[in-house]
Amino acid sequence: MRPETRQRVLDAVAQLGFSPNQHAQSLHTGRSWTVGLMTTDGIGRFSTPVLLGAEDALGAGKISVLLCDTRGDAIREQHHLQNLMDRRVDGIIVTGRRTDPRPPLPGVEGIPVVYALSPSTNPTDTSVVTDDRGGARLAVEHLVATGRTRIAHVTGPQHHAAARERARHTVEQLQAAALEPSTGRIHHGEWSEAWGRRATEAVLRTAPDTDAFFCGNDQIARGVTDALRERGVTVPDDMAVVGYDNWDTMALASRPPLTTIDMNLSEIGRIAALELLRAIDTEPRPGAHTVPCRLVVRESS
């Protein structure tokens, strides 16, 4: 088509307010222009930002999104997966409430899949994950830079990947600064304020010269600040406290508000969506792609 003819057609389209028929486009291109978002935790504080980040990136184009909540049930997951395949989706993003690796979706050969936050156990799949090593480094470097040298680490249950990885990297970062945990060990427990309060008593009983707590999540950190206040310990003058997750409900309501590590969950979702579009349009990039964390400094440190 000659350029001047093409321009006359485009002008006529604009004047008539014409919009292309998506069904006809699908028949022509072989694509449905639809992507599935599958989560194990549809209203979770971790999966929701991931889903919103993905939806924002996909919605910026002409992609429609189908959200499926499996509620952590394998049978429900298989049901939703079959529905997505019946609708001939162009690709699927899978996320969950934890950072533990998960088995890949079965029977999806030929359909691009990207795993966000909860990586696939198959290293040839494409996963987008948080940087727990970088998060621990930011927290420890911040505490050391403010003069803290007797740092305790209180975190969640050892069978959770997030607790294990953050603890391991915390010890590495302390050793890099010629330090060790103030009590000589990591304190594993629950992801709860109650555990934070109990752990505070245990830490100060063992190592009363502790001058900082780095906590595996904001709930634990809030429990720590409550216990310190009850003891008459001033935060941050006498003791610094750093949390993890940047969960507003906890971090901002804490007294004082918490310095914390933000996992950039919405960015994980956005990158996952871009990786999926890349896999649909050209070819996938297998392996785990890490999204950096960021330090949010508030009054607790």
Using one digit for the tens of pLDDT, what is the confidence trace for 258-281? 999 999 999 999 999 999 999 999
For 229-271, give the DSSP string: HHHT--TTTT-EEE-SS--HHHHTTSSSPPBEEE--HHHHHHH
Q: What is the DSSP letter of 66?
A: E
Q: Are residues 285 and 217 in the same domain?
A: no
Helix axis angle for 193-206 and 218-231, nearest 10°, is 50
- pLDDT tens readout for residues 136-181: 999 999 999 999 999 999 999 999 999 999 999 999 999 999 999 9
Instruction: Give the rounded percent of residues in the chain with a pLDDT score beyond 90.
Output: 78
Give residue 229's domain range: 132-262
CATH code (residue 31)? 3.40.50.2300
d(CA 253, CA 234): 17
Residue 298 in any domain: the answer is no
Q: Are 8 and 103 part of one and the same domain?
A: yes
Residues 167 and 284 in one domain: no
Structure-block tokens of residue 23: 């069904």
pLDDT for 256 = 98
Residue 296 lies in a domain: no
**How many Å apart are CA 19 and CA 21, to the nearest integer?**
7
Task: Supply the pLDDT for residue 27.
Answer: 43
Q: What is the pLDDT of residue 41?
A: 79
Residue 112 pLDDT > 60: yes
- Whole-angstrom distance, CA of residue 85 vs CA of residue 78: 10
pLDDT at residue 22, as a whole number: 46
* CA 82/CA 299 separation, integer angstroms: 49
pLDDT of amino acid 24: 45
In this predicted structure, what is the pLDDT of residue 1? 47
Confirm whether 230 is domain-assigned.
Answer: yes
50 within 8 A of 98, measured Cβ to Cβ: no
Query: pLDDT for 221-255, tens place per residue?
Result: 999 999 999 999 999 999 999 999 999 999 999 99
**CA–CA distance, 127 with 130 (Å, rounded to integer):** 10
| Average pLDDT of span 10-36 | 59
Residue 61 lies in a domain: yes
Find the DSSP H helices in the chain.
3-16, 22-29, 47-59, 74-86, 132-145, 161-176, 193-206, 218-231, 248-251, 265-281
pLDDT of 153 reads 99
- Mean pLDDT computed over every residue of the chain: 91
Cα 147 to the center of its chain, rounded Å: 30
**295 has pLDDT over 50:** yes
Given a cut of 90, is residue 25 above it in pLDDT?
no
| Model pLDDT, residue 62 | 78
pLDDT in the model for residue 272? 98
Cα gap 204→250, rounded to integer Å:
23
Is residue 124 a contact partner of residue 280, using CB atoms and an 8 Å limit? no
pLDDT at 269: 96
Are residue 137 and residue 126 in the same domain, yes or no?
no
Assess whether 181 and 75 both reside in one domain.
Answer: no
> Is 138 found in the same domain as 80?
no
pLDDT score, position 3? 57
pLDDT at 47: 87
**DSSP string for residues in 143-180:** HHHTT--SEEEEES-TTSHHHHHHHHHHHHHHHHTT--
pLDDT interval class at 187 (50, 70, 90): very high
258 within 8 A of 221, measured Cβ to Cβ: yes
Residue 249 burial by Cβ neighbours in a 10 Å radius (0-12, 13-18, 19+): exposed
Helix (H) or strand (E) holding 214: strand 212-215
Do 137 and 117 lie in a common domain? no
Whether 299 is in a domain gets the answer no
pLDDT at 31: 81
Other Cβ atoms closer than 10 A to 186: 19
Q: How far apart are CA 62 and CA 45, in angstroms?
A: 27
User: What span, in angstroms and rounded, lies between the C-alpha atoms of 140 and 295?
Assistant: 11
Q: Are residues 147 and 112 in the same domain?
A: no
